[in-house]
Amino acid sequence: MNYLVDGHNLIGSLPHISLSDHDDEFQLVMLLRKIAVAKKNRQILVVFDRGVYGHQQSLNGYNVTCHFALSPEDADTQLIRRIKGLAKPKEWALVTADRRIIDVAHQYGVRHMPNATFVGQLLRKTNTTAEYHDEKPEVPLSPAQIEAWRVEMNLPIEPSAEELLMRESMRDLAPPKRKKK
């Protein structure tokens, strides 16, 4: 089964990606790539709204093709045009919650998969949970790393009073060292 995906519409249904994320499209495409390559010859075409001229188009690959609707067109219009042009509509499923696109898909014999169903499959097949976080916890720099950066940036080697206080507070937060027996 191949998929036509209403990108931003689907992102709104995902528990760990927000439309306000600066890389929401990238995050979705990385998930889609995992399920695209899981089955031989599976194709996923995802269309996003609000494309801008000069938008980075390097999200294509691993059987996922991305299109950004350029103003004045929107993703809905592009998806409808693509549905009407499918050579083998029975081999495709539309992933969206948009009623207008769903109606056109049914007229042309394209199956509809609700966002919730697709998200369930997506999360299960990619071993992704709602608690997924892309960011790693921030690790403080060691004194040696700080000194290396100072040298690199031609800053004074001696730490400021503020840095000395910060280092002292970091020592207080560090777990106690074990005594050797």
Give residue-wise pLDDT tens across range 153-178: 776 666 667 777 777 776 666 566 66
Structure tokens at 66: 């991305």
Place of tokens 């040696």: 144
152 and 82 within one domain: no
Reported as a pLDDT band with limits 50, 70 and 90, residue 69 is confident
What pLDDT shows up at residue 86? 95
Residue 137 is assigned to a structural domain of this protein: no
Residue 115 is assigned to a structural domain of this protein: yes
34-63 b/e (C-beta count within 10 Å ≥ 16 → b): ebbeeeeeeebbbbbbebeeeeeeebeeeb
- pLDDT of 79 strictly over 60: yes
Q: What are phi and psi of 173, to 5 degrees?
A: -85, -20
102 and 167 within one domain: no
116 and 37 within one domain: yes
Number of domains into which the chain is organized? 2
71 and 40 within one domain: yes
36 and 86 within one domain: yes
Residue 131 is assigned to a structural domain of this protein: no
Is the Cβ–Cβ distance between 94 and 105 less than 8 Å?
Answer: yes
115 and 60 within one domain: yes
Which structural domain, as residue segments, surrounds residue 32?
Answer: 2-125
What percentage of the chain exceeds 70 in pLDDT? 77
What percentage of the chain exceeds 90 in pLDDT? 43
pLDDT-wise least confident of 4-8, 98-102, 113-117, 132-136? 132-136
Distances (CA, A) of 46 to 56, 66, 69, 160: 15, 5, 11, 52
Q: Residue 17: which CATH number?
A: 3.40.50
56 and 13 within one domain: yes
- Considering the entire predicted model, what is its pTM? 0.67
Residue 22 is assigned to a structural domain of this protein: yes
Residue 134 is assigned to a structural domain of this protein: no
Residue 138 is assigned to a structural domain of this protein: no
Reported as a pLDDT band with limits 50, 70 and 90, residue 130 is very low
What pLDDT shows up at residue 107? 96
Residue 130 is assigned to a structural domain of this protein: no
Q: How far apart are CA 45 and CA 29, in angstroms?
A: 10
Reported as a pLDDT band with limits 50, 70 and 90, residue 85 is very high
Higher pLDDT, 5 or 70: 5
94 and 159 within one domain: no
121 and 47 within one domain: yes
- pLDDT of 134 strictly over 60: no
120 and 151 within one domain: no
Residue 20 is assigned to a structural domain of this protein: yes
